[in-house]
Amino acid sequence: MRFYLTTHKRHWLRLTDVPLFLKSEHFDRAVKWDVAQGPYAIDSGGFTELKDKGTWTRSPRQYVQDLRRIWEHVGPYDWAAPQDWMCEDAIINGGWFGGQYFIGTHLSVAEHQRRTVANFLELRALAPDLRIAPVIQGDTVPAYERCVELYENAGVDLRAEPVVGLGSVCRLQSTRKGAAIVTAMAAHGFKLHGFGFKILGLERVGHLLASADSAAWSSHARRRPALPGHTHKNCANCIDYALRWRERVLAAIPAQRQTMLTDRSVA
């Protein structure tokens, strides 16, 4: 299993060879490019896009151009997420959740799934040479199974894909419902990536994932004093803190699962 450290600091790519997870939008205004020293993957930024705008404002063609630009300047990435449509209640219905306001798409789960699959097919047609990963979406086990069927009906063999993203489980990962979803999808033989997984989720279902990413280190740091010798108010944007947090996460995972999480460390 590959554990990606999620960050909005793209220059970290030249500071460490630990696997990193970055949003494509963080490269939009790049003038100076840093060549990646280790593996990395690209997130499309779908959660923020749908939360704030209720739809995708970047066209698939523009997104492909952005991905190609990153590939050429930074180096080959492991994979990039499509412009998928999350099926979380907050994203669909809108309103206040966890202190954040969601505009809401006001579409059905089935429509979100249809648009997710359609976008993947369009991106794959526009750029068959880029490593764009399919993502399965849903809100219940039967719903995820229906999304799998949509891919199958479109001729996509998910078992043959190097990675299959598992969407909309971030807030369910440590629950029985979340575990049931991950277990059901893993039973298909997919090489699953878990978006936004934290230690409780990894302890519960990490052995079923091929990879996962997390940005939990930043909020963790924001609630604590800066590391000794650091002059900033807190370490919410600090690579030293992020790397130490990652090591603590890996160390806390049971030994039989931790062996699957072993990856390259600080350069």
Q: Is residue 23 part of a domain?
A: yes
Q: Is residue 267 part of a domain?
A: no
Q: Is residue 10 part of a domain?
A: yes
Q: Is residue 186 part of a domain?
A: yes
| Confidence band for 220, pLDDT divided at 50, 70 and 90 | confident
What b/e sequence results for 182-199 when a residue is b if at least 16 CB atoms lie within 10 Å of its CB, and e otherwise? bebbbeeebbbbbbbbbb
Q: Which two tokens stand for residue 142?
A: 């039967």
Domain count, the chain: 1
Query: Which pLDDT tens digit goes with each residue over 165-204?
Result: 999 987 776 678 888 999 999 999 999 999 988 777 888 8
Helix (H, G, I), strand (E, B) or coil at 188: coil
Predicted pLDDT at 204: 83
Query: Would you say residue 244 has pLDDT above 60?
Result: yes
Q: Which two tokens stand for residue 55?
A: 């739809």
Per DSSP, what are the bridge partners of residue 40? Answer: 20
Residue 106, domain extent: 2-261
Calculate helix-pair angle for 109-126, 60-74, nearest 10 degrees. 50
| Confidence band for 138, pLDDT divided at 50, 70 and 90 | very high
In this structure, the chain runs to a length of: 267
CATH of the domain at 208: 3.20.20.105
Q: Is residue 266 part of a domain?
A: no
Query: Would you say residue 93 has pLDDT above 70?
Result: yes
Q: Is residue 80 part of a domain?
A: yes
Q: Is residue 24 part of a domain?
A: yes
